[in-house]
Structure 1
Amino acid sequence: MKILKLRSGGEMPIVGYGTWTASGDVLENALNEALKSGYRHIDTAYLYKNECTIGKVLNEWISSGRVTRDDLFVVTKLPAYATRPEDVEKYLKESLQNLGLNYVDMYLIHSPFGLFAKDQTDLDTMVIDYDTDHLAIWKVMEKQVDCGRTKAIGLSNFNAKQVQKLLDYSRIKPDNLQVEHHIYLQQTELVDFCRDNGIVVTAYSTLGTKDGKKRLNLNWSKGVPEILENEVVLRVASKHGKTPAQIVLRFTIQKGVVVIPKSTNSQRLVENIQIFDFELDAQDVEDLERQDVGDKGRLWWFTIFAGVKDHPEYPFPKEI
């Protein structure tokens, strides 16, 4: 497994196991299979409501001696409805309790915009908190490193301008930025900016989030096919004798970007980590790079939250 060195000194496996939308017995079984298959980087979030299940499995593996805590790289996130300085410590402590861990390896601010929620399970109850203060939040994030609750801190869904502000004014720099990244939204400038500033990028929705699209009615604004049905992806997969998923994951890690594919199918989750025995050639890479359609390829605009585009820290173009 390839490891990326973090500015803070940690080591982040370039392939992680994503857990969004997975829960209960299905997640428990899948995570056991993932650990058997060699995954050691586990990505979750308070918002996913599955930290307790993940903690149960991880602690069973640790207590049985199959892994040590040091073998694991666990990521969780501060939810958007807690994007306030007074909430950071509270929610991280809750995540640690859920996970049954003394620390996480990476704690991310899940979104640059803040919300208020009357009911954390009902998106319709969430309203915009217009007073989101990134610098004040980050100071408390830094305190969590000082206190040993997390080894490193980072961001999710922030744009380059927002990241730069934290780079300019922070004592502990962001180690990681997690963003939507796939063949239709390659975000080359943002990835290059992060690399130049010592920030590791993690890609989510690399395989297209087909399940999430159904749940939340997400669609690309440009009428492109599903990523795993893209004719270029299929052609390159046939050439290398690999699955379409393996091709797009390999394409991403060859660019030095971390991937966190989620699957609860045992065969597919094994295939998703078996991407180190081949390499895409220059023509493959060029053909896949040409699939980029910029912001028209973005799935996640977060308009599920009413009025979010009016938030002063909304990170994406308001019109495309």
Structure 2
Amino acid sequence: MPDKLGRYRRKRDPERTPEPVPAEGPLPRGDDDTFVIQEHHARSLHWDLRLERDGVLVSWAVPKGLPPDPAINHLAVHTEDHPLEYATFEGEIPRGEYGGGTMTIWDRGRYETEKWTDREVKIVLHGSRASGRYVLFQTRGKNWMIHRMDPPDASWQPPPAPLAPMLPVARDRPPRDRDAYQVEFAWGGARALAYVEGGRLTLRSGDGFRDVTSEQRWLRPIGGALGSRAVVLDGELISPAGDGTPIYVCYDLLYDDGRALLAEPYARRRAALEALEIAGPRWQTAPAWPGGEIGAVRQAAREQGLPGVVAKRLDAPYEPGAESSAWIFVST
């Protein structure tokens, strides 16, 4: 009988990694109904799908996570079988070791097997985050694809196609009904919309359509920071210190994990943005203040050499590509 965990053990030193490394011997047996999905921040972010089968966890690395929509298939790379104990593993695999990085449990639960062959596996997942019918099918060698077989959740919406950003109108004075607004700095940077899905970033230019991701490679880690969350952010690339080191300030959220927010009022979009707690070494959520404080915010902008402020109506939807009076730019 071949050792199903031999490849797993050869790749790991139990003296150096906190991962479970069982000794050779008879495999434990369960009910072949446990699954786990682990979020693995290794050299590149991916998700590991593991299915209990014949005493081991049969495993696939899924770079973009499980597809939410039957119209989209995702790559799934077949990896070595893992021990059943791995179904509860979370921890930090040391740098330099195989799979070095942070491993956390994204979801776990029970699954049913509808079909299992060497080239095709049909399952039904019953987890708190992952549920539904999926099929894994081999395409070439260790490369497989994973396909969702049933419709997405009724509330799920696909990410929007590339959008042109909403623009403010310029006024000489702040709005009179200031309590109906929230105010932000006008940064004077380069407008950019960030599309993040499956831990990967696509950054689009100020017209909303040109892909500038390769020109701003430093921002790619924001994808890993957001993990499996699919979002579309509106913001600007700025150099606040004046030293040529850009950061990304985001001030609107247009899509959030299956929910299109364009029709939502700005107040709700802003609350959802702040709930994401976007804060990193070179990306952050732009500050905002009640509209009644626009005078003080305008003065602060002037002192910092910023071009002005933008007052945004709390009840206004997002109007892609429009110059809208719901956003008012007032210079310093």
- Which interval holds the TM-score relative to the shorter structure? under 0.3
Larger RCO (alpha carbons 8 Å, 6+ apart): 1
- Which structure's CA Rg is the greater one? 2
Q: When the two structures are superposed, what TM-score results if normalisation uses the length of structure 1?
A: 0.25
**Which protein has the bigger strand share?**
2
**Which protein has the bigger helix share?**
1
Q: When the two structures are superposed, what TM-score results if normalisation uses the length of structure 2?
A: 0.24
